[in-house]
């Protein structure tokens, strides 16, 4: 695969750091161990794709003990300091060329790009036998989540989603209290975040000249091409549907994880959303989503049952109503959001990342320690490193292994679907196994607002909101499984 040419050369970019590792020699794990896995004493050869933001944080977490052999980013201006701080890693613009050139010498890949390109980088890495750590949300679509789940099982690689709270004590305690029956049956859960903290509800901006340090074609990746504007990247892409998943995708992977895990959820059966003005390209300022999950089988000797449950999500400044008995003056927002589990015996409340769980009654539960705890000072990233070095036959899976993170992420992106299809004005019925809505009819149309143009004429407000009506089935189908732009493709879905 050919890499796109740029005006700035790698050697010129790195400058005085002496960083172009043209002669870098990396011994792959298959050579070291002969068994397709590493002994715990060996170092992983890790590549990082998307290094300007969270990718740099993930990189720093693993670099003290492992080899960082390749760094890839489409924005060499935003990522300049990271390239300079890691002169031994070979720099790339294009992850495809990185795989072509260094595929045999890389053991594992950290993916921290914009949401829309998570799946294509991770999926192709897994088919090469690479362990993958992928930032949250795991993927941009339901289909991509299902694909990564199945590829991880097929290739027996170690995986982790970057929802670091899943390795924390708050999630452990929340899950244990729920499953010990401390609050009884749970038929309703409410959750919220204080995000977005970036602009949303925006009209599509006009095009600008692309900076020389940015490869816009590679940033667009599998999405539909559009003119560059500085509103999109390097950080505000989260609010644009083609690249991100809004406040829901940003924070639900942190906030809803104890809900998904503690209540043993799988696929929802119903979904509906509402929001402030919904635009075609940009996420709304605030939204609400309701997902309904069917009753689950209660395991033998379980201390709680699993009836049908509705999970309600709020963002953009919206919060659930405070239940009777809420301590006066206590802020429901804990580190960016919160959750209320409404049980038949009590209510359990926790913050973002499952932080600081407590019961509304004031009781302090003493439940059995059934969840695996990480050793002291072992981070979410290093637990993944540990799993990478274990053989598939004896591997202890990570705290957000794709076997759980994949189905959980389907919950998150289902919320996006519910919001974007709200114009159908009905509760959507979902078949999780088939990944399709069962009550969107062939004649259904969904109205989308292209832009919001507000003016005042002679003291009176004037609204100009051009709309389009499109085929709802086709629109939903492309959100469930994207049609990728030429040059980018996913491997087939394993059986």
Q: What 3-state DSSP class applies to 95?
A: helix
CA dist., res. 45 & res. 50, Å (int): 17
Nearest C-alpha neighbor of 488 from the set 168, 13, 94: 94
Terminal-to-terminal C-alpha distance of the chain: 28
CA angle 435, 437, 442 (to 5 degrees): 125
> Locate tokens 């027996």: which residue?
156
What is the Cα 229 distance to its own chain's centre? Answer: 24
CA dist., res. 420 & res. 273, Å (int): 8
Cβ neighbour number for residue 459 with a 10 Å cutoff = 5
Q: What is the pLDDT along the chain (495 residues), one digit of tens a residue?
A: 444 434 444 333 333 333 333 333 333 443 333 334 565 559 999 999 999 999 999 999 999 999 999 999 999 999 999 999 999 999 999 999 999 999 999 999 999 999 999 999 999 999 999 999 999 999 999 999 999 999 999 999 999 999 999 999 999 999 999 999 999 999 999 999 999 999 999 999 999 999 999 999 999 999 999 999 999 999 899 999 999 999 999 999 999 999 999 999 999 999 999 999 999 999 999 999 999 999 999 988 899 999 999 999 999 999 999 999 999 999 999 999 999 999 999 999 999 999 999 999 999 999 999 999 999 999 999 999 999 999 999 999 999 999 999 999 999 999 999 999 999 999 999 999 999 999 999 999 999 999 999 888 888 888 889 999 999 999 999 999 999 999 999 999 999
> Locate tokens 């309701």: which residue?
290
Q: Which domains does the chain have, with CATH numbers?
A: 10-165+378-401 (3.40.50.720), 167-359 (3.30.360)
For residue 253, is it left (φ>0), alpha (ψ between -120 and 50) or beta? Answer: alpha
CA angle 355, 356, 361 (to 5 degrees): 135
Decide if 197 contacts 423 (C-beta within 8 A). no
Q: Which residues contact 29 (CB under 8 A, 6 or more apart)?
A: 36, 37, 38, 42, 44, 45, 107
Residues making up the chain, counted from first to last: 495
Per DSSP, the residues of 292-308 read EE---PPPTT-SS----
Confidence (pTM) = 0.92
As a three-state string, the secondary structure of 408-428 is HHHHHHHHHHHHHCHHHCCCE
């Amino acid at each position: 695969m050919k890499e796109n040419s740029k005006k700035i050369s790698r050697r010129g970019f790195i400058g005085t750091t002496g960083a172009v590792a043209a002669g870098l020699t990396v011994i792959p794990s298959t050579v070291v161990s002969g068994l397709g896995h590493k002994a715990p004493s060996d170092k992983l050869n890790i590549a990082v794709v998307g290094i300007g933001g969270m990718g740099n944080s993930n990189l720093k977490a693993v670099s003290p003990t492992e080899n960082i052999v390749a760094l890839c980013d489409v924005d060499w201006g935003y990522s300049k300091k990271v390239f300079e701080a890691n002169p031994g890693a070979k720099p790339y613009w294009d992850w495809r060329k990185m795989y072509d050139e260094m595929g045999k010498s890389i053991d594992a890949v950290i993916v921290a790009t914009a949401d829309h390109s998570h799946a294509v980088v991770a999926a192709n890495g897994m088919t090469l036998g690479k362990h993958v750590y992928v930032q949250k949300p795991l993927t941009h679509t339901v289909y991509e989540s299902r694909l990564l789940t199945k590829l991880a099982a097929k290739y027996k690689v170690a995986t982790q989603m970057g929802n670091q709270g899943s390795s924390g004590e708050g999630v452990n305690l929340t899950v244990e209290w729920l499953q010990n029956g401390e609050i009884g049956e749970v038929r309703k859960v409410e959750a919220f975040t204080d995000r977005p903290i970036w602009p949303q509800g925006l009209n599509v901006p006009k095009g600008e000249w692309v900076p020389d340090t940015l490869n816009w074609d590679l940033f667009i990746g599998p999405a539909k091409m559009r003119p560059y504007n500085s509103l999109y990247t390097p950080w505000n892409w989260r609010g644009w549907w083609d690249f991100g998943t809004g406040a829901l995708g940003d924070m639900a992977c942190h906030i809803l994880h104890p809900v998904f895990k503690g209540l043993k959820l799988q696929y929802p059966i119903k979904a509906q959303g509402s929001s402030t003005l919904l635009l075609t390209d940009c996420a709304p300022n605030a939204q609400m989503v309701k997902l309904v999950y069917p009753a689950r089988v209660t395991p033998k000797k379980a201390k709680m049952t699993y009836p049908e449950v509705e999970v309600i999500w709020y963002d953009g400044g919206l919060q659930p109503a405070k239940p009777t008995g809420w301590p006066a003056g206590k802020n429901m927002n804990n580190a960016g959001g919160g959750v209320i589990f409404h049980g038949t015996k009590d209510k359990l409340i926790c913050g973002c990342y499952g932080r600081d769980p407590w019961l509304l009654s004031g009781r302090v539960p003493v439940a059995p320690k059934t969840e695996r705890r990480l050793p002291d000072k072992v981070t979410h990233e290093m637990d993944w490193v540990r799993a990478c070095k274990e053989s598939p036959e004896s591997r202890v899976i990570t705290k957000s292994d794709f076997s759980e993170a994949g189905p959980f992420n389907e919950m998150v992106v289902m919320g996006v679907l519910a919001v974007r299809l709200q114009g159908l004005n009905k509760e959507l019925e979902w078949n999780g196994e088939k990944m399709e809505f069962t009550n969107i009819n062939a004649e259904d149309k969904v109205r989308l607002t292209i832009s919001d143009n507000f003016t005042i004429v002679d003291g009176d407000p004037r609204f100009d909101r051009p709309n389009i009506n499109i085929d709802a089935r086709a629109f939903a189908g492309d959100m469930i499984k994207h049609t990728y732009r030429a040059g980018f493709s996913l491997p087939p879905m394993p059986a």
